[in-house]
Structure 1
Amino acid sequence: MASLNIPSLPLLAALALILVLPVRAVTSASAEAAQMAVGRVEPADLNDEEVQKVINFAAKTYNDMNNDLYFSKPIQVMSASQQVVAGMNFYLKIKFGRTTCTKAQSDLADCPFNEQSDQQKRVICNFQISTVPWMNKMSVTNFNCPRT
């Protein structure tokens, strides 16, 4: 009669498999989801502080690289996406406009856009910017302003 109270070995093995398989499947699915996020290009949040730093860096790069006497600033961020790599890649499409301030001026924060039709200069530029936040590194890996 004592043998009725002890489950058989095959029954114990089947019970163990039933308990282990769902846990393993959930763990595997979570790992796959996390791995898929790395390397995937996704929309960037324009309100995010890091994204704003990258946009400002792109604007500084644009002003440093062009030979215009006047300071330009973003009119509109037309698109922004990001990609997790060994750091982050940001892909930006920004429409710039010429301001009334020369680059030689010290306070460029409140420069209004130049509204005179013969002085307006609008340009759309594409940037790829790589960042490594924990090393405080940011660099432009690709930059172009195609003529329209």
Structure 2
Amino acid sequence: MAGSLRTPLLLLAALTLALALAMSPTVGASPSKLHRVGGLLDADVNEEGVQQALNFALSEYNKASNDAFHSRAMRKAFCSFQIYSVPWLSKISMVKSSCQDA
């Protein structure tokens, strides 16, 4: 029984650590560049990720539209993104349990 709780507890510990790092204003940032989780930051409109997001949004908009003509981006005025958490990496060792899936 104790072995079956090991993986969820390990994942909970990793999530707690990630949240603590994300909420800490002093981890990995200089005092002039402090950003809070949930805050908006400016993004470069020419960045590859921004372009991919724009193309995806236009594609989905055109799929859902009843218009006979497709819409396209005329110009990119600005772009911002919201910070949800700090990117993090976890290394977890997994083992098979003796329990079978129901």
TM-score range, shorter chain: 0.3 to 0.5
Report the structure, 1 or 2, having the larger strand content. Answer: 1
Could you state the TM-score of these two structures normalised by the residue count of structure 1? 0.34
Q: State the structure with more CA Rg.
A: 1
Could you state the TM-score of these two structures normalised by the residue count of structure 2? 0.47
Report the structure, 1 or 2, having the larger helix content. Answer: 2
